[in-house]
Amino acid sequence: MNNNRIFPIISPIIAITSALIVGAILILIAGANPITAYTALFTESLSTYFGFGNTLTKMAPLLLTSTGVLLALKAGQFNIGGEGQIYFGALGSALVGLYVQAPGFIHVPLALLAGFIFGAVWGFIPGYLKAMRGINEVITTLLLNYIAIDLISYLVQNPLKEANAPSPYSPLIAKSAQLPIIIPGSLAHGGILLALIAVLIVYIVIKRSTLGYQITAVGLNQTASNYAGISVQPTIMLVMAASGGFAGLAGASEVMGLKYRLFEQVSPGYGFDAIAIAFLSRGSVLGLVLNSLFFGALRSGANVMQRSAGAPVTVIYAIQGLTVLFIAIALALEPKLRRDTT
Amino acid sequence: MAYLRLENITKQFGAFIANDNINLCVESGSIHAILGENGAGKSTLMNIISGLYQPDAGKIYLQEQLITINSSADAIKLGIGMIHQHFMLVPQLTVTENIILGTSKNINLNLRQKQVEIKALSQAYNLEIDPTAKVENLPVGTQQRVEILKVLYRHAKLLILDEPTAVLTPLEVKSLMTILRQLAANGHTIIFISHKLEEVINLCDTVTVLRRGKVVATTTTQQTTSQQLAELMVGRQVSLHLNKKSVASGEIVLSVKDLQVKDNRGVTVVKNISFELHAGEILGIVGVDGNGQRELAEALARTGVKVGYIPEDRQKTGLILQFNIAQNLILKAFKNPPFSRCGLLQQEAIKSNAVSAMEEFNIWAPDVNVKVGQLSGGNQQKIVLARELAGVPKLIIAMQPTRGLDIGAIEAVHQRLLAQRERGAAILYISTELEEVMAMSDRIAVMYKGEFVDILDAANATVEEIGLLMGGVER
Amino acid sequence: MNNNFLTDYLASTLRLSVPLAYAAMGGLFSERSGVLNIGLEGMLLTGAFTSAAATFYSGNVAVGICAALIAGGFVGLVHAFLCVTLRVNQLVSGLAINLVAGGLTSFLGRLIFSGSTQRLPVVPAIKIPILANIPVSGILFEQDILVYLLFLIIALTTYFLFYTNPGLNLRAVGEYPSSADTAGISVTLVRYVAVVTGGCLVGCGGAYLALVQINYFTEGMSAGKGFIAIASLIFGRWHPIGSALACLLFGATEALQLRIQALGVNIPYQFLTMLPYLVAMIALIGGMGKSTPPAALGVPYERNSAGKNI
Amino acid sequence: NNQTTTSTSNFKIAIALPGVISDKAWNQSGYEGVQLAKQKLGVETAHVEKVSQPDQTEVLSDFARRGYNVVIAHGGQFDAAIQQIAPQFPNTFFIGVNGNVSGANIASLRIDHLQASYLCGIIAATMTKSNKLAYIAGQEFQATQEELRGFELGAKSLKKDIKITSTFTGDWNDVAKAKEATLALISTGADVIYQWLDSASATVLQTASDKGVYAFGNTNDQLEIAPKAVLTSAVKHLDVAITYLAELAQKKELKGEVYKLGLERPDILTLGKFSDAVPQALQKQVLSVKQQIIDKKVRF
Ligand SMILES: Nc1ncnc2c1ncn2[C@@H]1O[C@H](COP(=O)(O)OP(=O)(O)OP(=O)(O)O)[C@@H](O)[C@H]1O
Ligand SMILES: Nc1ncnc2c1ncn2[C@@H]1O[C@H](COP(=O)(O)OP(=O)(O)OP(=O)(O)O)[C@@H](O)[C@H]1O
Ligand SMILES: [Mg+2]
Ligand SMILES: [Mg+2]
């Protein structure tokens, strides 16, 4: 009985340790000091004031996007399009931030809403194509990523570009549309709270609401749901739109809380990290929060390790990959270990 | 001589003992029946013989040689062929591809030549089949034939058939019996599992009854009766006969005029069907599988009236196997009070609904949180019934409601439906089990190629007459 | 001049399609056996790196190609071990492979190729007499060994899948593993072989990228081609020829957009770079839509639930 | 190798790079800049590579918080982040390379890209037979636009009707695409190509060489890569430029302005070796225009 409680904690720790050991070897080969690097990684990203702020800053888009992925997953849909939906959400909020004038208490929600809606549109399209036309959502969401990225690139370079900017980005959005900083002096902004609220909402919807029941039913068995009178196709479209909407919120929070403008590379791959996070969480909303925090720490720790220990970025990427891999292995082995010990 | 002998076979799943010290002896050239309730451990035992599972203890002797079977490949090499309860056919492949799967060490498929071989084989055993058809487009009865051919093609000497007749029409059952007798006469040894006691008595030489994983009796079919077997299986008295009260038929609940239904490929599969159905009446629909019954049922189930629909395939269309009992029971009503308030699920109401349904319908499970996928077919079916009847439906469409169930469960289903009839529900009872339909129904419609060839009065109809109509012979 | 333009266009289309097609074929083997493979990107990169490194040290392109084959197969083996034996979530395994491969190849690339530009020998083109002289399309017969090999692989894969026993086994395993298992086929073995073979093919695609197309290795040079290959695979409905054609479509629109830019047409370049994806999207919507994946794709096989509620 | 080293001077500079330090071009030049500064000025250095845009503020502020005296942001895309961060850290000087910002503690370092590409334009216009020139870069932004404009102005100063087409691949990493883009340009008739790419640079030059057309090197003197194709190179010694600004900062002489460094600093911006294909007369002409630019007789 005791084992059941310990394994979920122990096995990820073993996994992370193994990844770090392999990483240490690589860091040594690269001529840096692994101990310095790891000290930096952990103390900075989790225990120092600013470091933790940075971790939270990274966590916000990851948590929002992975929430979307998880929601889609509940309805049996693979949303690989988080990336493009982030870009679109960023666009939506930037447009409202740039062209609408309103007091903060209206402007912020309005811009967030716009971010949600823009992301939702980008999620709805594959949802519609899947539900009504049976077109595989993996391919459409993937393709829409590229289209969104190019589209935003065009917009920030042409109509939305700040005059005289050396690089494509928009002017600053209105002060009233900016999210507040929640840890003074650091970069951690209101987007983190937004993400936590979003997760809470999704948790309640999935666990407690009839809508969540409906979504889960559709995800598990479309035929049976259909016979029971559940409208399967609208559910899929709704879920895909909402999934895109959450990713859109991630884009919006990056624009409104971090950069205060629309810029070219809104997401350096959050969409793909989010997929890994959602799957590693195995449907658990708490897992989503913890994994996002962990990935956030890993991502912000990457910068820290470079800065203070000179560990090359290539090694850090390898360590990140290995960590994901080893955690996945640990999770897969967990039931077996449990069986063997009981 | 014993062809197959099992000694103290034990198989556990976790803490659950599915097979408990089983001893079994199957004579060479005989047809041996295994009987038992849903979940008694029949399939588990057969899976051990066919190499899919490994026993935790015990020995297997084939022709008095101690053997170990580590995989299906081993079993096939030893001449053991099994037709699984849930078909092991790849729907996306053709009949030929399914039959030859895994049999050849050659690189080349030689599909043409194999098709010819299979055509010949099928004709030799009177199992008519189109070798080029895709399995997913075939009716279940035909799929069963493919399964049998698959085993024969592998030259199995010991044939295990796990509930092969559950999906066959009476005619098909008859021809299967002939084939099995012929095979036994040719020296094949056969293990036959069925919930239909008549079949067992008619076909088999010996019978072993399992209950809760243990052998409770082994006897010859000559020395026993259906009634005795039933009691051995269930461990209590079972009534094998329905006592159907007469109910005065009421208002017209359903009136169908010139119904046409196209399937998803655009072929008209239901043609010009017209009938009326009264409250308190059971209209049975019989016909060879694949004559439009399913499409008719689905079309009617969608009419929007308060309809209770018991679909043919409880695992795919009736239930969400990953949901627990309580969740499955609200599948149709989850948006309504008392299960939902302000869009939130009311766990208390859902749970108490499940508890009372389990009690009322005799659903056996440790508690309401058990995943439905882990229940036996009988219990799964009872959940479907409990849910579909909960809304006090005016019309009930029951499609193959007893398929694969043990006699205890069948009895329960029948009683439920008859109770609904007495309450005043109109019932459409669709089945390939001719005798069952005749016992249950007030009137019987015979369906052939999408049409009702005739509607008969159940009291006066004979099996022969209906059998001919089902075959498309007009009066 | 006009002929040249067409010939160049054709050649460019081909070159852009080849690495995609290798990756798509590799993915096809894996996914037809029921193992999701989102790690094509990482496998391409691995192939590109190892082929460049092996050629760099040995001075022999054949050694480079073999190394890419082996390395790709090795990554496939890792993926198979994770997905088939350990039953790790297949999507996560693929994503992790991409991350690790990206990091490791860059890391090793810096160790090996630091300083000087790599000078790798070229893979010689083999002219097929007569055919190569046909105007315009003759260019198809003036290619290097890897291109011919690809044509052969596409043909062989088609033959293998639909006309051979092992191919039948592969399809059965991908659609309904319990069925294959009860027919005496080892699901594990088939999946291992398929994923490893697939890895080898993707590795080859990487070798083409590094040795033929570019002639040196750079960090992250797969640049998303693995994902386009996945899109092609789905687009081509997991059929070798369909997938190859889908790759060709991507290659052709890419080559086209580069030519539109080169002709100085006044369209913002972002609209041109998105063209291949847009065209694919339109083609999907315009009726070439439905594609059903192998039924068991992404589902680890466990015998104890054989025949049960899958 | 790239570890933090302590030194007596106690002056610390750091650089944030958008790409990888091994790209043999833009990012590598920035990295080499701080290495050179470390060597020449004895300062302590640090770097972070592959800084994505969402990470910019974090990286800049973290360096500042750690007491780095100079934080260099290597690329115009950092400008917005610099403006956002710099006011919070008055004791740190921020330098945006290729940037366009200035302030109390913000300086920008711009190489006058136009000047070198203008000279290349002159050479290209003389050497072309098809009267079609081409420009290829990874992405379009101010610096690449400026270079394109310089190239265009230079070419048109000789031949009014000359045609210049540009291609942007949209992905600095996609080397294969860059190569195909080059081939596409060549097949539409362009016979002199000016490129600004990083990892893909070499393949473009080699492709030009294979196809028998001319090209220019960029950033480094790339004549060696394809001696038959490369006419000359627009050599930008960003490392020297960075060291120069770092030195100013160390001496407390750095001002909050845009430092535009051009041909007047041959140690920073100059033309590379000419290939033999460039006739002596043309070389002379180009060098004299170069002098005119230095003397501010030619302005843009
Ligand atoms: N894969 C499994 N994992 C765990 N338990 C199982 C598994 N398969 C069967 N069991 C257990 O073994 C018991 C016997 O199952 P089995 O399939 O042999 O029944 P059966 O006699 O064939 O029933 P039916 O008449 O419904 O086909 C079940 O009640 C179940 O609890
Ligand atoms: N994965 C599983 N884990 C535990 N028990 C299982 C599992 N799958 C099946 N069982 C058990 O196996 C027994 C028989 O299952 P099976 O699917 O054969 O039911 P059945 O009554 O034959 O259904 P059907 O109507 O489909 O023939 C059931 O009692 C069920 O509890
Ligand atoms: Mg069974
Ligand atoms: Mg059964």
pLDDT in tens, D148-206: 999 999 999 999 999 999 999 988 888 999 999 999 999 999 999 999 998 888 899 99
Atom of ligand 1 nearest to the CA of B47: 18
pLDDT average, residue stretch B142-157: 89
Nearest by CB to B332, from A221, A223, A229: name it: A229
Looking at ligand 1, which residue's alpha carbon is closest to its atom 3?
B13
**Structure confidence at residue C42 as a pLDDT band (50, 70, 90):** very high
Ligand nearest to the CA of B42: 1
Chain C environment of A280 (Cβ under 8 Å):
89, 92
- Residues with Cβ within 8 Å of residue B157, at least 6 apart in sequence: B3, B79, B80, B187, B188, B189
Give dist(CA A189, CA A256) in Å, integer.
9
Mark yes or no for CB contact D181/C262 under 8 Å.
yes
List the chains bordering chain A where 3 or more Cβ pairs fall under 8 Å: B, C, D
C-to-D residue pairs, Cβ atoms closer than 8 angstroms = 107
| Mean pLDDT score, B20-41 | 92
CA dihedral sign of residues B355, B360, B365, B366: positive
Report the pocket of ligand 2 as residue ranges, CB < 6 Å: B 38-39, 43, 85, 374-378, 404; C 305, 308
Tell me if B36 CB under 6 Å of ligand 1: yes
* Residue B475 pLDDT grade (very low, low, confident, very high; cuts 50, 70, 90): low
pLDDT in tens, C151-166: 999 999 999 999 999 9
State the count of interchain CB pairs (< 8 A) between A and D: 111
Query: In sequence order, what are the beta bridge partners of B261?
Result: B270
Q: Mean pLDDT, to the nearest integer, of C37-44?
A: 95
Separation CA C295–CA C172 (nearest Å):
10
Q: pLDDT value at position A9? A: 62
Cross-chain Cβ contact D100/A306 below 8 Å: no
Please check whether residue B108 touches C, CB under 8 A.
yes
φ and ψ at A103, to 5 degrees? -65, 155
Q: B338: cis peptide before it, omega within 30°?
A: yes
Q: Residue A317 has what pLDDT?
A: 84
Task: Write the ipTM.
Answer: 0.87
Given this model, what pLDDT does residue C117 score?
60
What is the torsion angle, in degrees rounded to the nearest 10, for the CA atoms of residue A13, residue A19, residue A20 and residue A22?
Answer: 150
pLDDT single digits (tens) C88-112: 889 889 989 999 999 999 989 988 8
Helix (H) or strand (E) holding C77: helix C61-80
Burial group, residue B222, by CB count within 10 angstroms (0-12, 13-18, 19+):
exposed
Gap from CA of B86 to ligand 4 centroid (Å): 9
Q: Measured between CB atoms, does A209 come within 8 Å of chain C? A: no
In the predicted model, what is the mean pLDDT of residues C280-308? 76
Gap from B6 CA to chain A (nearest CA, Å):
29
pLDDT in tens, B226-241: 888 988 888 877 776 7
Identify which of A229, A235, A234 has the alpha carbon closest to the alpha carbon of residue B306: A229
Length of chain A: 342
Whose CA is closest to atom 5 on ligand 1?
Answer: B13
User: Tell me, what's the pLDDT at D5?
Assistant: 43
B349 contact C CB<8A:
no
Task: Indicate if the pLDDT at residue B5 is higher than 90.
Answer: yes
Per-residue pLDDT band at C250 (split at 50, 70, 90): very high
pLDDT score for C121: 82
pLDDT of residue C2: 58
- Reported as a pLDDT band with limits 50, 70 and 90, residue C139 is confident
Contact C/D (≥3 CB pairs under 8 Å): yes
**B38 Cα to the center of ligand 3, angstroms:** 7
Give the pLDDT confidence score for residue C208 in this predicted structure: 95
pLDDT(C86) > 80: yes
pLDDT tens figures, D18-45: 988 888 888 999 999 999 999 999 999 9
Report pLDDT for A14: 82
CA distance D227 to chain C (A): 14
- What are the respective helix, strand and coil percentages of chain B, to the nearest 5? 35, 25, 35
pLDDT over 50 at C1, yes or no:
no
Q: Which of D66, D141, D171 to mutate to test the interface with A (most CBs of A within 10 A)?
A: D141
| Share of residues in chain B with pLDDT > 90 (%) | 44
How far apart are the CA of D63 and the nearest CA of chain C, in angstroms?
24
Q: Residue C190's closest chain B neighbor by CA?
A: B102
DSSP per-residue codes, A268-322? SSHHHHHHHHHHHTTT-HHHHHHHHHHHHHHHHHHHHHHHHH---HHHHHHHHHH
* pLDDT of residue B60 exceeding 90: yes
- Please compute the mean of the pLDDT values over residues D86-92 and round it to a whole number: 93
Contact in structure between A155 and A262 (CB atoms under 8 Å): yes
Nearest to A211 among B311, B330, B343 (CB): B343
Residue bearing the CA closest to ligand 2, atom 15: B376
Name which of B92-101, B301-310, C215-224 the model is least confident about: B301-310
Interface of D with A in 158-177 (CB under 8 A): 170
Around ion ligand 4, which residues have CB less than 5 A away?
A: B 377, 404
Instruction: Supply the residue whose CA is at minimum distance from atom 28 of ligand 2.
Output: B376
pLDDT of residue D183: 93
Residue C307 pLDDT > 60, yes or no? Answer: no
Tell me the shortest Cα–Cα distance from C291 to chain A, in angstroms. 7
Are residues C107 and A26 in contact, defined by beta-carbon separation less than 8 angstroms? yes
Which of the pair, C175 or B294, is modelled with greater confidence?
C175
Which chain C residues are within 8 Å of D166, Cβ to Cβ? 261, 264
Please name the chains neighbouring C, where neighbouring means 3+ C-beta pairs under 8 angstroms.
A, B, D
Is B334 in the C-facing interface, judged by CB distances under 8 Å? no
Q: Which of B19, B376, B410 to mutate to test the pocket of ligand 1 (most atoms within 8 A of CB)?
A: B376
How high is the mean pLDDT in each 10-residue block of chain A (342 residues)?
54 82 88 86 82 91 96 94 96 96 93 97 96 90 95 93 88 93 89 95 93 95 91 96 97 95 92 90 87 88 81 84 86 70 48
Which residues from chain D sit within 8 angstroms of residue C223, using beta carbons? 171, 173-177
Residue closest via CA to ligand 2's atom 8 equals: B374
- Flag the least confident range among A90-94, B285-289, C39-43: B285-289
Predicted local confidence at residue A8, as pLDDT: 58
**Nearest ligand atom owner, CA of B316:** 2
Round the average pLDDT of chain D to a whole number and report it.
91
- For chain C, what is the mean pLDDT? 89
Two tokens, residue B188: 């094949």
- The band of D9, judged by pLDDT with boundaries at 50, 70 and 90, is low
Contact present, D and B (at least 3 Cβ pairs less than 8 Å): no
Query: Could you report the per-residue pLDDT of B318-337, keeping only the tens digit for each?
Result: 999 999 999 999 998 899 88
Tell me which of B38, B43, B191, B200 to substitute to probe ligand 1's pocket, judged by most ligand atoms within 8 Å of the beta carbon. Answer: B43
Q: Which residues of C touch D175 (CB under 8 A)?
A: 214, 218, 221, 223
Does ligand 1 have an atom closer than 6 angstroms to the CB of B378?
no
Which ligand has the minimum distance to the alpha carbon of residue B365? 2
Range with the poorest average pLDDT among A203-212, B358-367, D135-144: B358-367
**Residue from A313, A317, A320 whose CB has the most chain C CBs within 10 Å, to mutate:** A317
Q: Which residues of B touch C185 (CB under 8 A)?
A: 73, 101-102
Task: Tell me the CA–centroid distance for residue A50 and ligand 3, in Å.
Answer: 62
As residues whose CB is below 5 A from the ion ligand 3, the structure lists B 43, 85
Q: Looking at residues C16-32, what average pLDDT do you find?
A: 96
- Distance spanning both ends of chain B, measured CA to CA: 51
Reported as a single tens digit per residue, the pLDDT across B95-106 is 999 999 988 888
Stated as kind and residue range, the H or E segment containing C31 is: helix C2-32
Residue to mutate (ligand 2; options B315, B374, B382; most atoms within 8 A of CB): B374
- The reported pLDDT for the residue numbered D7 is 43
Q: Is C58's Cβ below 8 Å from some Cβ in A?
A: no
Ligand nearest to the CA of B84: 3
The mean per-residue pLDDT over the stretch C10-21 comes to 94
Q: Is the pLDDT of residue C309 over 60?
A: no
**Which residues are CB-neighbours of D195 under 8 A, at least 6 positions away?**
D135, D136, D137, D182, D201, D204, D205, D215, D216, D218
Beta bridge partners of D268: none
In chain C, % of residues over pLDDT 70 = 94
This prediction's pTM: 0.89
Question: Nearest residue on chain A to B342, judged by CA atoms?
Answer: A209
Q: Are C177 and C308 in contact (CB under 8 A)?
A: no
